[in-house]
Amino acid sequence: MSITWQKWENERLTITKKDGSKQVMQSRKMLSVKTGTMAELTSELCDELGSFALHLFTAKWQFMQFKNLKENLPTSWVLTVADFAENYRCVYQDEISAAYYQYKQATLHPIVSFHHCPDCSEMMTSSYVCISPDLLHDAYAVKQFQQNVKDHLTSTGTEIGHLVQFSDGCAAQYKSKSPFMHLALYESSEERAFFGSRHGKGPCDALGGVVKKAAERYVMTKRGLIRDAKEMFDFANDHLTVDPCHGEDGCHNKRIFFFNESINRSSDLTNEAVTVPNTRQLHAVKNKLNASDPTILARKLSCFCTGCTSMSGNCSNRSHVEGWRTIPLTKPGVLSTKRRRSSVAEKSRKKIKKARPQPEQSRKKIKKARPQPNLRKRTKRYVTTVKLNKSCDNVQLFSHIN
């Protein structure tokens, strides 16, 4: 007896370009209808259950570690959660039809931090929203937004002995060789932990929704206009900021906004980084301080038990969590050679070099432009004179050459 079931599978699609010259093969998830016996359906289901069980365990474990660290955060530690929100679309209450296709957007990157108050040592929850007109969500933008938060925490007297950031596993933003290189180059102790795949919902999603909904309500009620990212920041900074220094209620809850006009994407050592093997399986990464070359420490699961937070190395979850593995981010000797070459080049630049004499210009006879003929002297002008006699009886007309 045959039965029918549905399954999401990767299928290759043939896409023809507009010119019709090339065909590109792409793989997409498609819902396929399959027909077979009960034994075939059971076999496919058993094959999928193995990876699905590991997926659920990883998601549950990572969220449990986040909750445990939040409730038992050490004094000098800072816990943050970071995630990009959907871009805010600048809309109008009364707009023409053409404005629907010409709207501007603003990037919103919420970051929620948990740390101890520098005055009373109680737990504080600070919400930060970084706004920028730059719509490219990459590792460079994340690095600049993180620096905004760290600078603000430092300016308020918060000690950052060790920073732990939870986020999803997006490769372009948090989990690839570029953000790993940024992490390895930090001079302070930092750690990255990643939620399970497709289980990254957290406080950042709520924060982004609150800000965008407030901005939309502000525009739809005709209290003002938000036409670009700068006006979005001005509105949020004036109406949504919650800072204890301004006398707001709840001195241990903040909401601060930052505006970044542009993102610094200058060349750095990320071009020399190599891909870390099995990156998708890693859910805990931290930097290795005082290393000769950029190096990270990684393992498959996070752990914030008493032994791990005290840095003693006595992990109480050894049956589930493996030890830290040292992973270099560059090929051996690549950076040391480049640094040596750069130092030699820098020394050579400091030497005073005599300017080479410029070759003398060849003496060429420059023909002088012939002066234009004086047309005023050569031109004959005929002037007509009207002469009247005293009695004005007759008029005489005669011409002469001037």
Mean pLDDT of 291-299: 89
Q: Which residues in 102-220 belong to E strands, given as ranges?
A: 105-116, 123-132, 162-167, 190-194
Give residue 333's pLDDT band: very low, low, confident or very high (50, 70, 90). Answer: low
Q: What is the pLDDT of residue 370?
A: 55
Nearest to 274 by CA among 181, 367, 360: 181
Is the pLDDT confidence value at 108 over 60?
yes
67-96 pLDDT, tens digit per residue, is 999 999 999 999 999 999 999 999 998 888
Give the residues across from 17 on adjacent strands.
none
* Radius of gyration for the alpha carbons in the chain, expressed in angstroms and rounded: 36
H or E segment at 26? Answer: strand 23-36
Of residues 304 and 27, more confidently modeled: 304
Is the pLDDT confidence value at 104 over 80?
yes
Prediction pTM value = 0.78
Question: What SS3 class is residue 211?
Answer: helix
Question: What SS3 class is residue 115?
Answer: strand
Of residues 148 and 245, more confidently modeled: 148
Mean pLDDT of 104-123: 92
d(C-alpha 263, C-alpha 207), whole Å:
22
Is the pLDDT confidence value at 325 over 60?
yes
Inter-residue contact 212 to 108 (CB < 8 Å): yes
Contacts of residue 385, defined as CB under 8 A and 6 or more positions apart, other chains included, come to 397, 398, 399, 400
Report the Cα 201 to chain-centroid distance in Å.
Answer: 19
Q: Over pLDDT 70: what percentage of the chain?
A: 79
Is the pLDDT confidence value at 222 over 60?
yes
CA-to-CA separations, 140 to 173, 233, 312, in angstroms, rounded: 8, 20, 33
Is the pLDDT confidence value at 397 over 60?
no
User: What is the identity of the amino acid at 261?
Assistant: E
Report which DSSP code applies to 259. Answer: E
